[in-house]
A and B are shown apart, each in its own frame.
Chain A
Amino acid sequence: MRRRSLLLQVGIASLLLALLALLVNNLAVNLLRTGLGLDFGWLGRPSGFALAESALPYSPSDSYLWALTIGWLNSLKVIAAGLVLATLLGVAAGAARSSSNRLLRSVAGGYVALIRQVPLLLQLLFWYFVAFLGLPETPIGDLIRLSNQGISLLGVPLSVEFCAVLTGLTVFTGASIAEIVRGGVNAVPRGQWEAFRSLGLSEGLGLRRIVLPQALPAILPALTSQYLNLAKNSTLAIAVGYADLYAVSDTTITQTGRAIEGFLLLLISFLLLNLLISGGMAGINATVLGRLRRSR
């Protein structure tokens, strides 16, 4: 039995290796044929393209590497803001779906049912072309200014593209988070609510001490995968012209023809990003659950 499984493994391994060798061989042949080779020297050359928005100073004479870094920062900006807003919206909508107010309940239900069945890309185009580019010039007091050139919030200018991507990601991910929150809270048996109420605990205290400690272990892992989805979905920003990591990579590859190297860099960037998000969430998971256990 052991011999057979060992033989089988060797067979599978050699099959995989042969497939890999064939692909790599084809790749090498094609790279030689087109005279490209594998090389990262182009990262230091000036990019020659402008970026509509950058967190740090950037000009077309800066290197490709710096352009990609700016793309990274733009991605991080929209992802970080999206995570916070989508969580707020999702928790609010999830809570609204189990509210005692029937109208509020059905509005939240309609939001989830509508948003989850329409492609995110279509929603992004809607937010960009219809909602934000159609904004009339409306100053609301001195602190908030809306116009189709962008939004100024407490003196901080936000581009239309950024607002459209952020709104699209928030609304789309919020609907999924709402379902997760509702599912997690519903998974706590009704008897638990009745029990803490009959003990005379207030709603807030009961929610914090009784319901959430039981709901969170189910909610947090699903929330992590939604956060990862949001990060990956942020690459659709290219459709509305927001200069995120993927958009900059796309332009870079089109200009240099370095598809393989570009793909490797993008792959590494996203592995890092995923590690950052799942690592952060694992930390939050441990702290939150630990604190909840201690306080019980």
Chain B
Amino acid sequence: MNRWLNRFVTLLLTAVIGWGAWSVIHWLLVAADWRVVVSNLPLYAVGSYPVDQRWRPLLWMVALFVLIGITLLGPRRGPLQRWLPLLWIAMAPVGLWLVAGGLMLQPVSTRDWGGFTLTLLLTFGSGLLALPLGVLLALGRRSRLPVLRLSSTAYIELMRAVPLIAVLFFGQLLIPLFLPPGLEINRVLRAVLAFALFAAAYIAEDVRGGLQAIPPTQREAAAVLGLSEWQSLQLVVLPQALRTALPSLTNQAVGLLQNTSLMAILGLVELLGISRSLLANPVFIGRFLEVYLWLAAVYWLACTAMALLSRHLELRLDPLRSDR
């Protein structure tokens, strides 16, 4: 770049950043009123969950934070590392048990679930359902059997053509219509199902990308060793394909967490939904900027934590890493 142009750009950017920083500081000192955030922290965390039972979702979230901390900062080897995958898998059922109740805990209806707890549960639940479904769809799309290939392709392409909000809206409306009369499932479960059906189509394409990256020699080698087609898929092809697809699967997971905010439009009080009802409270009228900045910080931290965890997993799974 031309030297004078370079200096001019630097000067201009400095001026803009300085002006921006000045307005932010001015707003923070003079206009901002953080009561809408500070006095409602429990609501952001757990929504309208019964007050005497709040320790349950809070305990789950604290356990999750500790687990993230141990995973990212803990010792690189030792017994703890061996138990980590198991602990991670246990987080979803334990969370569901803690939040929903039953088995010695007082049951809490899904109507009372809310806040960041609900955001996390929606993400976890639909992610866990969508991953196996997505893998099946990806395998189906690459199958030699035309019936399987065509039906998988049709599902993936149709789902990817429709906007998520429409899938969620019609999930709420239509899922009951497709079920036998008398069988009713609640709003949260309907949302999880709709999210999972939607995300599976995108996950399928990422997994398919991973499958395509596996050279055919791998399958041939597995066949020569006498592995059956199923064994070769399970032991040779899928582990490598999923590892290759991990970065794009992470993007899907981050997208899933961000997209749970769409349920606010459809009336669930997850993190964004509870904020909308707080902003409707006359006491906090007009405090949009404080709330949105706070939410942006929470979402940003959660998404960044997910990206870091996935990076960590990628390194752990890297076959070329030396310190194993």
A contacts, CB < 8 Å to B: 5, 8-9, 12-13, 16, 23, 26-27, 29-31, 33, 99-101, 103-104, 107, 114, 117-122, 125-126, 129-130, 232-236, 238-239, 246, 249-250, 253, 259-260, 263, 266-267, 270-271, 274
Q: List 16 A-B contacts (CB under 8 A).
A: A12-B148, A23-B178, A33-B181, A114-B300, A118-B303, A119-B261, A126-B292, A129-B288, A130-B288, A130-B289, A234-B163, A235-B165, A249-B166, A253-B173, A259-B170, A260-B174
Hey, which chain A residues are within 8 Å of B295, CB to CB? Answer: 122
Q: Which of B146, B158, B258, B259 has a CB less than 8 Å from the CB of A9?
A: B146
Q: How far is the CA of A125 from the CA of B10 in the complex (A)?
A: 32
The 10 A-B pairs of least Cβ separation, nearest first, read A119-B258, A232-B163, A235-B163, A117-B303, A119-B261, A129-B288, A259-B173, A9-B147, A13-B147, A117-B300
Digit string of B254-291 for contact with A (CB within 8 Å is 1, else 0)? 10001101101100000010000000000000001100
Q: In the complex, what residues of B have CB within 8 A of residue A238's CB?
A: 165, 265
Task: Indicate if B145 sits at the interface (CB-CB under 8 A).
Answer: yes
| B151 cross-chain contacts in A, Cβ below 8 A | 16
Q: Is the CB of B272 within 8 A of A121?
A: yes
Q: Is B6 an interface residue when CB atoms closer than 8 A count as contact?
A: yes
Chain A interface secondary structure, helix, strand, loop or mixed?
helix
- B14 contact set on A, CB distance < 8 A: 103
Enumerate chain B interface residues (CB-CB to A < 8 A): 1, 6, 9-10, 13-14, 17, 144-148, 151, 158, 161-166, 169-170, 173-174, 176-181, 254, 258-259, 261-262, 264-265, 272, 288-289, 292, 295-296, 299-300, 303-304, 307
CA gap between A132 and B179 in the complex, in Å: 44
Chain B residues whose C-beta falls within 8 Å of the C-beta of A274 in the assembled complex: 161
**Given contacts A100-B1, A100-B6, A239-B264, could you give 14 more A-B pairs where the C-beta distance is less than 8 Å?**
A12-B147, A16-B147, A26-B180, A27-B177, A30-B178, A117-B300, A118-B300, A120-B258, A121-B265, A125-B292, A238-B265, A239-B265, A253-B173, A266-B162
- Of all chain A residues, the one with the shortest Cβ separation from B148 is A12
Give the chain B neighbours of A8 by CB distance below 8 A.
Answer: 145
